[in-house]
Amino acid sequence: MRLLIVGTLEGHITTAGQIAMQRGAKVSHVDNIEGGLKILRDGPGADLVMIDIRQPVARFMKQMKQERMNTPVVACGIQSDPETAVAAIRAGAKEYIPLPPNPELIAAVLAAVAEEQNAVVFRDPVMAGVLKLADQIAPSDASVLVTGESGTGKEVLARYLHSKSRRANEKFVSVNCAAIPDNLLESELFGHEKGAFTGAVARRIGKFEEADKGTLLLDEISEMDIRLQAKLLRAIQEREIDRVGGSSPVKIDIRLIATSNRDLDQHVREGKFREDLYFRLNVFNLQLPALRERPADIRALAEYFGKKYAEANGVAARVLSEPALQRLEGHHWRGNVRELENTMHRAVLLASGDVIGPEAILLTGEHNAPASRPAASAAARHGQPAARGGSAAAGGHRAAAAPPRAWSAAPSPTSSAT
């Protein structure tokens, strides 16, 4: 876990840093937001930012958003200044920590960030097979291609691989190839020198350099322009990159993980994806099954998200009723885990009393109509699930009453599904 502290925390900087380091975090400190942005942009980066609310938090958050920096931020300040705390939250800070710092509170925030980044919750034998294979290949430096439908948890699995690797105490850097325009993606990956193009007002370190000694995730790599794929292939083969506008190559040492929700074999046949790059990336292939193909995970994940969003919204934890679970288990889940997460967030906010009933379960496509009858089973509504793979799935018996298992790395390195 890499913690960046921005500001003096009103004189409590030493105490806060010591608490974080005792919990296994690597702490960096800068005096102002300009220094914080430089660390995030060109330096070692961070998994969590703690910022003094006396700093211009809104400007800091706006600049992070403009530069596509997704590091979570928590604001810190004296307890007697609630208006400033509210303003920081509205600006985009995830939490507010009152000062002087409380060791248990800081430890809880660090643990929550680590858990959200690395936890894999499952109960179905099909998913057990995927995790067993992931455990086997995680210690190596071989490239891994994680495939599966949108929303199945590909980035979660990538972070799990990192947490189990020999690079677990180094950086995990993720870049979404589908979210960045083609003309900016090259600079995002490889960096650029000052003046390399219009708007390049300063040198910027790319994601490859940022991830040096750690793991780089290329999310949705199938969306990358084929012209950029040639430069990516060279970077993987030579273990060096060229910044845009640079005059000399830069050596890199990374473990590469890529994800795709497309059929890359078909992309190769259609000339949309380089075959040589495909084989470079596909040393190991982890295929994440759709949520409808691992039905025992629905209950485990629903309980997990129910607890998560109860805490996030400051409401009492509510138990899922059996009719509500039947509705969840009978749904097709076209959006997979991401759709289930959104459904449970709605349910937590709509439920009344101590139980989440079926009336609080608003499923996609129902136009917010209240539940009037129990959902039909998934098998009756959609046919039998697809054939399952994975070593733990063969001949396995599902134990619905078994508690969900979660893997999370110790809070030393860096959710939701992707």
Domains in the chain, CATH or no CATH each: 2-118 (3.40.50.2300), 120-287 (3.40.50.300), 292-396 (1.10.8.60)
Residue 339 pLDDT: 95
Residue 25 pLDDT: 77
Q: For residue 23, which of 119, 139, 101 has the smallest C-alpha distance?
A: 101
- Burial of residue 180 (CB within 10 Å: 0-12, 13-18, 19+) is middle
C-alpha count within 13 angstroms, C-beta hemisphere, residue 186: 19
Phi-psi region of 168 (alpha: psi -120 to 50; beta: other; left: phi over 0): alpha
Residue 391: which residues within 8 A CB-CB, separation 6 or more?
A: 129, 132, 133
Q: What are phi and psi of 397, to 5 degrees?
A: -110, 130
Q: For residue 250, which of 335, 308, 311, 193 has the smallest C-alpha distance?
A: 193
Residue 412 pLDDT: 33
Residue 162: which residues within 8 A CB-CB, separation 6 or more?
A: 118, 168, 172, 214, 215, 255, 257, 413, 414
Q: Cα(383)–Cα(56) distance, rounded to whole angstroms?
A: 55
Residue 367 pLDDT: 62
Residue 146 pLDDT: 97
pLDDT beneath 70: ranges in the chain: 24, 79-81, 114-118, 367-418
Q: Cα(203)–Cα(205) distance, rounded to whole angstroms?
A: 7
CB 248 within 8 A of CB 205: no
Q: Is 407 helix (H, G, I), strand (E, B) or coil?
A: strand
Residue 12 pLDDT: 85
Residues facing residue 175 across a β-bridge? 218
The crossing angle, in degrees rounded to 10, of helices 82-91 and 57-66 is 10
CB 415 within 8 A of CB 338: no
Residue 85 pLDDT: 80
CB 175 within 8 A of CB 228: no
C-alpha count within 13 angstroms, C-beta hemisphere, residue 101: 26
